[in-house]
Amino acid sequence: MTNNDTLFDNFLQETIDRDRSLAGALTLSFSDTCGKIEQKRKADMQRQKITIRLMMSVILAIIVTNILIITMDSPDTLAGIDDNGYISESTNYFTEILQ
Amino acid sequence: MDEKTLVESLKQHDPTAFQLVYDKYHQRLLYLSYGIVHNTEDAEDIVQEVFIDVYDAIYSFKQESKLSTWLHRITMNKSYNLLRYKRVHNIFARMEVSLLQKADKPDDTEEKDEKIEQLHKAIAALPKRQNMVFTMFFYEKMPQKEIAEIMGVALPAVEQLIFRAKQNIRKKIGTDI
């Protein structure tokens, strides 16, 4: 082992010891970590609530759109004023179905 | 409490089991994380995140390895992810900070800090496997047998990786210590 090897080993060990003492002085408390977990849990719940609300809004919007489409497509709504200016005979879609 | 019971208790989110694991491993993981990121705040954040992940994802731990192995792998992955993120996003910010720090320091400590900084860079530049082994062996003072278990390699391979890591660091920082 040369003098340089020893110097290198000493320097390496010295630096690692210094780093270890820095890391050893870190104060990471258990309660802090638990607090963070609680925060994350609450944030997750909030996110879940928002997602559920968003999904419900989307479902509701789809239902409303479908109802509107059905209503607009029904002969009742299509009935209007004909080419001669007469109000065309309104057909009750649901009555027709029932008949 | 044996490890199987401990893991089962963790899966039930038992606070006593969680504290047991925390008390047993948090300091070791801090050494490990610090050995990779070389920043006290980052090391603290990483270890805290590791325990949050343990709390959240313990159900996915199948006990095919030891709990300590699992914890070490999570810590190393998080540390390397942070390093990667920092390399990409903070290059300019870090340059600015280091310039400001250097400007404030007296000459004698400046030279020593430069050497330490050089060593940290050389450790960070090691190939991943060498870096992992080096950090666990020197920073965490982990026995080589345990390192072999975590890395999934034979004991002589660990010895070889430590040897190569030291050689590479030596090459990087030169002989002028």
d(CA A52, CA B37): 39
Record the tokens describing residue A63, joined without a space. Answer: 């239902």
pLDDT number for residue A40: 85
Cβ–Cβ gap B48/A32 under 8 Å: yes
Query: For the residues B27-53, what does the mean pLDDT come to?
Result: 91
Q: Do B22 and A26 touch (CB under 8 A)?
A: no
Q: Do A30 and B47 touch (CB under 8 A)?
A: no
Q: Contact at 8 Å (CB) between B32 and B140?
A: yes
Which residue is closest to B141 within chain A, CA to CA?
A20
Which is more confidently placed, B154 or A4? B154
Instruction: Show Cβ contacts of residue B142 under 8 Å, excluding neighbours closer than 6 positions.
Output: B28, B136
Contact across the interface for A36 and B48, Cβ inside 8 Å: yes
B168 phi, psi to nearest 5 deg: -65, -40
Q: Which pLDDT value is given to residue B84? A: 86
Distance of alpha carbon A69 from its chain centroid, rounded?
Answer: 29
Question: In angstroms, what separates the C-alpha of A93 from chain B's closest C-alpha?
Answer: 56
Closest residue of A to B46, CA-based? A28
User: What does each of the 99 residues of chain A score in pLDDT, given as a tens digit?
Assistant: 677 778 888 888 888 888 888 888 887 788 888 888 888 889 989 999 999 999 999 999 999 998 888 777 655 555 555 666 666 555 555 555 555
Residues of A with Cβ-Cβ distance to B24 under 8 angstroms? none
For residue A61, the model assigns a pLDDT of 95
User: Residue B77 has what pLDDT?
Assistant: 92
pLDDT at B72: 92
Mapped to the 3 state alphabet, what secondary structure does A13-75 carry? HHHHHHHHHHHHCCCCCHHHHHHHHHHHHHHHHHHHHHHHHHHHHHHHHHHHHHHHHHHHHCH
Q: What percent of chain B has pLDDT over 70?
A: 85
How far is B58 from B49, CA to CA, in rounded Å? 13
User: What is the domain class of B1-89 according to CATH?
Assistant: mainly alpha
How many angstroms separate the CA atoms of B131 and B129, rounded? 5
* CATH architecture, domain defined by B91-177: Up-down Bundle (1.20)
pLDDT digits (tens, 9 = 90+) for B52-101: 988 888 888 888 888 888 999 999 999 999 988 888 776 666 666 666 66
- Residue B98, min C-alpha distance to chain A (Å): 18
Task: Annotate B140-151 with DSSP letters as a single string.
Answer: S---HHHHHHHH
Q: What pLDDT score was predicted for residue A73?
A: 62
Q: Does the beta carbon of A97 lie under 8 angstroms from any beta carbon of chain B?
A: no
pLDDT number for residue B134: 92
Q: Where are the domains of chain B?
A: 1-89, 91-177
Distance from CA of B154 to the nearest CA of A (A): 25
For tokens 């992940």, name the residue.
Answer: B53
How far apart CA B40 and CA B63 sit, in angstroms, is 31
Where do the H-state alpha helices sit in B38-143? 40-57, 67-89, 91-104, 107-124, 128-134
